[in-house]
A and B are shown apart, each in its own frame.
Chain A
Amino acid sequence: MTTLREALLDPTGAVEGQDDSTLSARPVTLKGLTVGLLDNTKPNAMHLLDEIAADLERDYGVATFKRYVKDYFGTPIKDELFQQIVNEVDVVITAVGDCGSCSAATVADGILFERAGIPTVSITSDSFAMSGQAMADVQGFPGFRFAMVEHPMASLDAAQIRGRADDIMPEVLRILGVTEEA
């Protein structure tokens, strides 16, 4: 039997729910929620996620952050880790798609979580917007929204990463539908 993840790896595969292109219910507020931070192993990915998390904790009342790391950036998340995250968090933020394969995979991961009912922000660099959007199109979810940071990410120092977090925060909140500060 073809799993949803296998179908994402092979976009021609047919599987129930694959064409589901409805975003999961948005939380409006993050107060008291658990947010999963999914690092795809690209340089500075978790650093960017940590900066975003600091803002979300201080200004939006997130209760808990759980940090996860994929084993490989170029393909969608493995089933075991995917199920663990779905069971443990309310919202997912994943970064960073700063290459062709990883931008596509980051968007694919976001679509997987959305289809599992978890509001998700996938973050790619602006240089790879086409790759991310093409993955959304191929997966039958052309309206999947993802956030874009200025390329590059890998070579940034701490202050520059802080700047990227500042730049992207409004889009993160918009994608999550968050309108209420803590």
Chain B
Amino acid sequence: MAEATSVDEALASFREMMATDGYLLTWSDAGDGKAVVKIEATDGACEDCLVPLPIMTNIMAKALAPTAYELDHVELPPGATH
């Protein structure tokens, strides 16, 4: 049986995309095979550029599919309007 893709590997391209708009993407193990993805704004973040939550969730759920984790939820920066 093939080993599951690591979460870091699975999220790498999206992490790069978020960094283009000035956001930092991290994830944490929420237990029971669930992962929480957290988006944080850096000093240079473009507030209006943040990917809307439904779109973010869609991307994250698909990105995690080849891993041993399922998406629990995505946390956006405080005050995010999308």
* CB–CB B51/A73 < 8 A: no
Q: Does A26 contact B (CB under 8 A)?
A: no
In this assembly, does A130 line the interface, its C-beta being within 8 Å of a C-beta of chain B?
Answer: yes
In the complex, which residues of chain B have a beta carbon less than 8 angstroms from the beta carbon of A130?
13-14, 17, 59
Q: How large is the interface on A (under 10, 10 to 19, 20 to 34, 35 or more residues)?
A: 20 to 34
B7 CB → nearest A CB, Å? 16
The stretch that binds A, out of B29-37, B42-50, B65-73, is: B42-50
Choose among A10, A99, A102 the residue with the greatest number of B CB atoms under 10 Å from its CB.
Answer: A99
Cβ of B20 within 8 Å of any chain A Cβ, yes or no, is yes
Q: Is B2 an interface residue (CB 8 A)?
A: no
Query: How many Å from the CB of A74 to the closest CB on chain B?
Result: 5
Contacts of B62 in A (CB 8 A): 134, 137
1/0 contact trace for B12-23 toward A, CB 8 Å?
011011101100
A135 & B20 in contact (Cβ 8 Å cutoff): no
Q: Give, as a whole number of angstroms, the nearest-CB distance from A168 to chain B.
A: 19
| B58 close to chain A: CB less than 8 A | yes
Once A and B bind, how many residue pairs between them come within 8 Å at the CB atom? Answer: 56
Given known contacts A73-B48, A130-B59, A134-B59, A99 and B54 CB-to-CB distance under 8 angstroms: no
Q: How far is the CB of B40 from chain A (nearest CB, A)?
A: 14
B55 at the interface (CB under 8 A from A): yes
**Cβ of B18 and Cβ of A137 under 8 Å apart?**
no
Q: Which residues of A contact B51 (CB under 8 A)?
A: 100-101, 104, 131, 134
Taking A100-B21, A101-B82, A128-B17 as contacts, is the C-beta distance between A138 and B48 under 8 angstroms? no
Q: How distant is B41 from chain A, measured CB to nearest CB, in Å?
A: 12
Q: 1/0 contact trace for A114-129 toward B, CB 8 Å?
A: 0000000000000110
Name 21 interchain pairs, CB-CB below 8 A, sorted by A.
A10-B54, A12-B54, A73-B48, A99-B49, A100-B55, A101-B48, A102-B49, A104-B52, A127-B17, A127-B20, A128-B17, A130-B13, A130-B17, A130-B59, A131-B17, A131-B55, A134-B51, A134-B55, A135-B55, A137-B62, A138-B58
Chain B positions within 8 Å of A, measured between CB atoms, are 13-14, 16-18, 20-21, 46, 48-52, 54-56, 58-59, 62, 82
